Amino acid sequence: MAVNNEQKQQSQTVEYVDLAHKTLLNSDALYKYILETSVFPREHPCLKELREMTEKHPKSLMAVPADEGQLISMLVKLMNANKTMEIGVYTGYSLLSTALALPSDGKVLAFDISREYYELGLPMIEKAGVLHKIDFREGYALHLLDELLQDENNKGTFDFVFVDADKNNYINYHKRVIDLVKVGGLIGYDNTLWSGSVAAPPDAPMIDIIRNLRDYVIELNKYLAQDSRIEICQLSVGDGITICRRID
């Protein structure tokens, strides 16, 4: 069937505007299948409660989707991670996924400019019995990372770092986090496909938040691809997550 220009325009608009999609898969039915078959039946009850509470929050689109929480949990367990960091907590879906996956003496250092957001999910974190694994610090992540780097003892000690905050600072985060993660450790950068916009023509219709930060994400992807200190793997889970393994 012939598709006229107006129809094309409309379908492109839907593609880039509909942020409600927590996946880059083109089939809602397929994504629903994944969630209903492999993710929700195995979701910890406190994660489910946190997810459902977050869905009612006006900024709920910021939370990582449940299938990505499952990926983070798998990575933490595969690595036998004990010391991890998260930059960008919001209500804590990825944080609680990490804390549940860590051993009982494991620790996750978590940064967010908003303690208010973190406190929304705090009752579920407490209920899950993992609060003792979390060291939450309120503030600007760049500043907090610089503080950590002032102590040589922190360098090369983190097993896993998940970065999910202000996209315009990801390269700045990378320049710091690379010294904090151990050789063989992982860094996960979230939203590296940025609603698919990284591969869209510059004049494609996009909502402001996508357009305004798109160049930063494109620059990050180029930067990571040429950084010889890491091996990388770009996954299309969620909004795209780039897994970096420090090798040097």
Which of 98, 164, 185, 217 is close enough to bind Ca ion by CB under 5 A?
164
Name the minimum Å distance from CB 93 to Ca ion.
10
The residue among 89 and 220 lying less far from ligand SAM, judged by its C-beta, is 89
Residue 121: burial class (beta carbons within 10 Å; 0-12, 13-18, 19+): buried
The residue among 193 and 206 lying less far from Ca ion, judged by its C-beta, is 193
Name the minimum Å distance from CB 50 to ligand SAM.
9
Alpha helix stretches (DSSP H) within 79-136: 93-101, 115-127
Task: Judge contact between 97 and 188, C-beta under 8 A.
Answer: no
The residue among 126 and 219 lying less far from Ca ion, judged by its C-beta, is 219
- Give the largest CA-CA distance in the chain: 64
Cα 166 to Cα 190: distance, rounded to the nearest angstrom: 10
Name the minimum Å distance from CB 41 to ligand SAM.
20
Question: 235 pairs with which residues across the strands?
Answer: 241
Q: Residues interacting with ligand SAM, by CB under 6 A?
A: 62-64, 88-91, 93-94, 111-114, 117, 140-141, 164-166
Q: Site map for Ca ion, 119-158, x if CB under 5 A? A: ----------------------------------------
91 binds, among ligand SAM, Ca ion, none (CB under 5 to 8 A by kind): ligand SAM
160 binds, among Ca ion, ligand SAM, none (CB under 5 to 8 A by kind): none
Name the phi and psi angles at 113, rounded to 5: -75, -15
Which of 191, 192, 197, 221 is close enough to bind Ca ion by CB under 5 A?
191
Cα 108 to Cα 85: distance, rounded to the nearest angstrom: 5
Residue type, 39: V
Question: 190 pairs with which residues across the strands?
Answer: 241
Residues forming the site for Ca ion (CB under 5 A): 164, 190-191
